[in-house]
Structure 1
Amino acid sequence: MGFTVRRTSRSYVRPSAATPSGTLELSIIDRVVGLGHLVRSLHVFAGGERRQGTTTPSSSSPASVIREALGKALVDYYPLAGRIVDGAEGRASAHVECTGEGAWFVEAAAGFSLDDVGRLDLYPFAIPEDDLLPDAAPGVEPLDLPLMMQVTEFSCGGFVVGMIACHTMADGLGAAQFINAIGDYARNLPSPRVRPVWSRDLVPNPPKLSSAPPPFPRVFRFRHLVDELSLDGIAKAKSQFLHATGQRCSAFDVAAAKVWQARTRSLRLPDPSTRVSLCFFANTRHLLGNIAQQGFYGNCFYTVAVSAASGEVEAAELAGVVAMVREAKARLPAEFARWAAGELVEEDPYELTFAYETLFVSDWTRLGFLEADYGWGTPEQVVPFAYHPCMPIAIIGAPPKPKVGARVMTRCVEEENVQEFREEMKAFHK
């Protein structure tokens, strides 16, 4: 059967009270040209009756509750109601104009239930993801809008919040902090539990490094694949690593190592000395104590990289690849300090070079999206689409409730490598 989503309302949601105007400067990390892209995600809620402790009438629709709460949250997060304006050097010198024009907000209705479309568990979905994401605001460049949202209500009482956010304004932790602020207001808290702080001047601003501009990237035809790593499998891998090294590792270490090794094996590179790389994005708030606990929601991360010969990655036991990941993580404090002091002169860690031999991994399990509650409970699942056609990437998330373990969503192999990649990922459970 065909499933149709009908958009019923489109408008800007402005801050519900007066907010400051003027110009705000972005940090050197915010202005990384590669971050000038849109991050799309779907947040799936079972819905049902409003929870106790919420004074909003239980008959209020999720869209109306979230819309009102968004207006309140934009008072605290007023830069998100403004516009990103490129400077003389384009996005590399962009700033924020606090215009109060608001966030783009779309309401939609689906004449079917979440069960009818498999609760959006299996990809590809029974309905296009674009139907659940906000369509473009008229007359505005999407990259100039910090935030766009769509709330789609299903016949079962469930709803999906589709979000499109410009990475220039916030990293994953910052975006989740804002979403949780909306949830706080939706549950009638008098203010967000975490007070936002702009403070982009607290991010180090070292001299521009002497790296050459990256070459024009190749556009890949990646397949969207989803694999599950069971809790038992992760626990077994952790135990093997502990036995081999006497050290503990995290679920992220295991998942990142597994997907990197599986992908490397599936590429069948003819020369085993070919260098392959794994890059992931590490939060650095804890390395800047002055903003660590202050509600900072800008980009505050560092690109951690590990590189090895493809033959070494292919032949290693999984514990050996986990060790490579952990060694790279251990270098983070020193490398970030060197970058902050302007001592890294070989290459700029924020100027990413996209190549088929490099895999980027992003961890969505601990950002805070899974804790967002608008009064109907936390989401069943969060489905990220943080993809770029030039960027081989794997996103580690949580599977839909009540499943446990890790869900690895990838766009990192082209058709000719899909079968071997899938077989390698399945081998995790043998």
Structure 2
Amino acid sequence: MGFTVTRRAQSLVGPSGATPSETLRLSIIDRVAGLRHLVRSLHVFARSRDRTATATESESESEPARAIRGALGEALVRYYPFAGRFVEGADGEVRVECNGEGVFFTEAAGNCSLEEVRYLDHPMAIHQDQLLPDPTPEIDPINLPLMLQVTEFTCGGFVVGLVSVHTIADGLGAGQLVNAIGELARGLARPTVEPIWARELIPSPPKLPPGPPPVFPTFKLQYYTTDLSPAHVNKVKAQYFESVGQRCSTFDVAIAKAWQARTRAIQLGPDEQVRVCFFANTRHLLPKDREPAGFGFGFGFGFGFYGNCFYPVTVTATSRRVAMGELIEVVRIIREAKARLPGQFAKWAVGDFEEDPYELSFTYDSLFVSDWTRLGFLEVDYGWGPPVHVMPFAYYQFMAVAIIGAPPAPQKGTRLMTQCVEKDHLQAFQDELKTFSSDASA
């Protein structure tokens, strides 16, 4: 049977109330050239409960697409930069023109139930492009901070296709926004978290003299997804605690296993350097004396801040050390790098660095890891319960990537979504990860 999606309506959704008309400067992190790209994801909702319509909405208006569209307009009153456009000033610096033009929004319908397409579990029975917004030709997606598509299925469930430009928000910031939309869709008078722009409070150290333009190589990276069993992960955690006397996280174990499996699969020379890079949230490391008055809520600066606020933590070791060592030793390398984060970020903030840590190099010996389990997407509720599945698509042929997520509910464990090896290395990579998968014995 052919499963299809029909787009029923497309429009621009602007703020439902008055908003400032201004042009906002972005932080030095926002303006990192590599962040000017589209982050795409699908959020699958099984509609696990009926939604109670408020006194001001009819039954038809309480359907997912209409409810989310209305809540989006409300949310944009506070998050009004998302309704603007990226523009380039005379100095070449990208800014946000807050003109209220709006978010590109699509209402669509699928001709099947979510159960028939396995809640979009891999492999997908409906191509992702049908579930993500497809703007009209006169719209350049890279200039729109945000686009949404809500696809309703015959079972009453729905999928939210989210496309955002990383320049305006990091993962935590995007998660904060969609949670605010969910709260407003459920009838809350205002979001729990009050957003702040405050980009001027991000450190802005002196930039190094410009070097050569970045090189974006083209690899033929293969997509592969597997689920790591809780039993295996917990076993490594216990071994690490017994060996070191400290605890490690699921993230530490997952990133260590992915890095080791990939290093073994690509078979570089034993003394060649391999790298893994992940992007650590640094909101808690910003100076507390720079916190905007009235926005701390007792949590320090960063509570409500939705801009890019992270530091690239790069871990480097020889291929031999990663491939041949015990997994708990690879975990130790990663945790030692995480422990250096406060000092490295503090040095960067005052310009004490020889190489810009945000100028990344994309080579086959490097693995980039993103953790989607702590961004808030798994807690979003538009009135029918949280998502049963969240699928990110942050993949590029110049960047070997592993994304840590969760399998569809009610399954337990950790999902590893990768596009990080070429075809010649894929089977070896799969074989290494199978020793850690959910269907293997602990």
Query: In 1, Cα distance between the equivalents of 2:419 and 2:271?
Result: 25
1:87-166 matches, cutoff 5 A: 87-88=89-90, 90=92, 93-123=93-123, 125-166=124-165
The question of whether the paired residues in 2 share the 8 Å contact of 1:214 and 1:351 is answered with no
Q: TM-score, normalised on structure 1?
A: 0.96
Q: Shift of the alpha carbon at 1:46?
A: 0.2
Give 1:338's aligned residue.
347
Describe the shift of the 1:94–1:403 C-alpha distance in structure 2 as closer, same or farther (beyond 3 A). same
Give 2:316's aligned residue.
307
Q: TM-score, normalised on structure 2?
A: 0.94
Q: Shift of the alpha carbon at 1:311?
A: 1.0
Give 1:284's aligned residue.
282
The question of whether the paired residues in 2 share the 8 Å contact of 1:373 and 1:379 is answered with yes
The question of whether the paired residues in 1 share the 8 Å contact of 2:215 and 2:361 is answered with no
Query: In 2, Cα distance between the equivalents of 1:185 and 1:99?
Result: 23
Query: In 2, Cα distance between the equivalents of 1:249 and 1:53?
Result: 44
1:311-326 matches, cutoff 5 A: 311-326=320-335
Query: In 2, Cα distance between the equivalents of 1:214 and 1:242?
Result: 44
Q: Shift of the alpha carbon at 1:232?
A: 1.2
Query: In 2, Cα distance between the equivalents of 1:119 and 1:381?
Result: 7
Give 1:62's aligned residue.
64
The question of whether the paired residues in 1 share the 8 Å contact of 2:273 and 2:317 is answered with yes
Counterpart residue identity of residue 116, structure 2? D
Do residues 347 (structure 1) and 345 (structure 2) align?
no
Q: Shift of the alpha carbon at 1:50?
A: 2.7
Q: For this pair of structures, how many residues does the alignment match?
A: 425
Query: In 2, Cα distance between the equivalents of 1:61 and 1:81?
Result: 23
Q: Shift of the alpha carbon at 1:211?
A: 6.4
Q: SS in structure 2 opposite 1:224?
A: strand
Do residues 357 (structure 1) and 359 (structure 2) align?
no
Query: In 2, Cα distance between the equivalents of 1:182 and 1:101?
Result: 18
Larger mean CA deviation between 38-47 and 58-67 belongs to 58-67
The question of whether the paired residues in 2 share the 8 Å contact of 1:10 and 1:105 is answered with yes
Give 1:417's aligned residue.
425
Give 1:86's aligned residue.
88
Query: In 2, Cα distance between the equivalents of 1:324 and 1:88?
Result: 45
The question of whether the paired residues in 2 share the 8 Å contact of 1:83 and 1:144 is answered with yes
Larger mean CA deviation between 204-213 and 239-248 belongs to 204-213
Give 1:193's aligned residue.
192
Cα-Cα RMSD: 1.4
Give 1:170's aligned residue.
169
Query: In 1, Cα distance between the equivalents of 2:74 and 2:363?
Result: 43
Query: In 2, Cα distance between the equivalents of 1:170 and 1:182?
Result: 15
Q: Shift of the alpha carbon at 1:416?
A: 0.8
Unaligned runs of 5+ in 2: 292-299
Query: In 1, Cα distance between the equivalents of 2:215 and 2:279?
Result: 22
1:258-297 matches, cutoff 5 A: 258-269=257-268, 271-288=269-286, 289=288, 290=291, 292-297=301-306
Q: Shift of the alpha carbon at 1:51?
A: 3.8
Describe the shift of the 1:21–1:252 C-alpha distance in structure 2 as closer, same or farther (beyond 3 A). same
The question of whether the paired residues in 1 share the 8 Å contact of 2:49 and 2:385 is answered with no
Counterpart residue identity of residue 111, structure 2? G
Query: In 2, Cα distance between the equivalents of 1:191 and 1:165?
Result: 23
Q: SS in structure 2 opposite 1:295?
A: coil
Query: In 1, Cα distance between the equivalents of 2:94 and 2:368?
Result: 25
The question of whether the paired residues in 2 share the 8 Å contact of 1:51 and 1:377 is answered with no
Q: Shift of the alpha carbon at 1:339?
A: 0.2
The question of whether the paired residues in 2 share the 8 Å contact of 1:196 and 1:296 is answered with yes
Query: In 1, Cα distance between the equivalents of 2:54 and 2:406?
Result: 27
Query: In 2, Cα distance between the equivalents of 1:140 and 1:5?
Result: 22
Give 1:384's aligned residue.
392
Q: SS in structure 2 opposite 1:115?
A: coil
Query: In 1, Cα distance between the equivalents of 2:212 and 2:157?
Result: 47
Give 1:27's aligned residue.
27
Describe the shift of the 1:169–1:215 C-alpha distance in structure 2 as closer, same or farther (beyond 3 A). closer
Deviations 1:63-89 (A, max 9, x none): 000000000000010000000112346
The question of whether the paired residues in 2 share the 8 Å contact of 1:82 and 1:101 is answered with yes
Larger mean CA deviation between 25-34 and 292-301 belongs to 292-301
Query: In 1, Cα distance between the equivalents of 2:130 and 2:244?
Result: 48
Q: Which runs of 4+ in 1 moved over 4 A?
A: 52-59
Q: Shift of the alpha carbon at 1:213?
A: 3.3
Q: Shift of the alpha carbon at 1:243?
A: 1.3
Deviations 1:149-208 (A, max 9, x none): 000000001100000000000000000000001001100100111000000001000000
Unaligned runs of 5+ in 1: none
Query: In 2, Cα distance between the equivalents of 1:223 and 1:89?
Result: 40
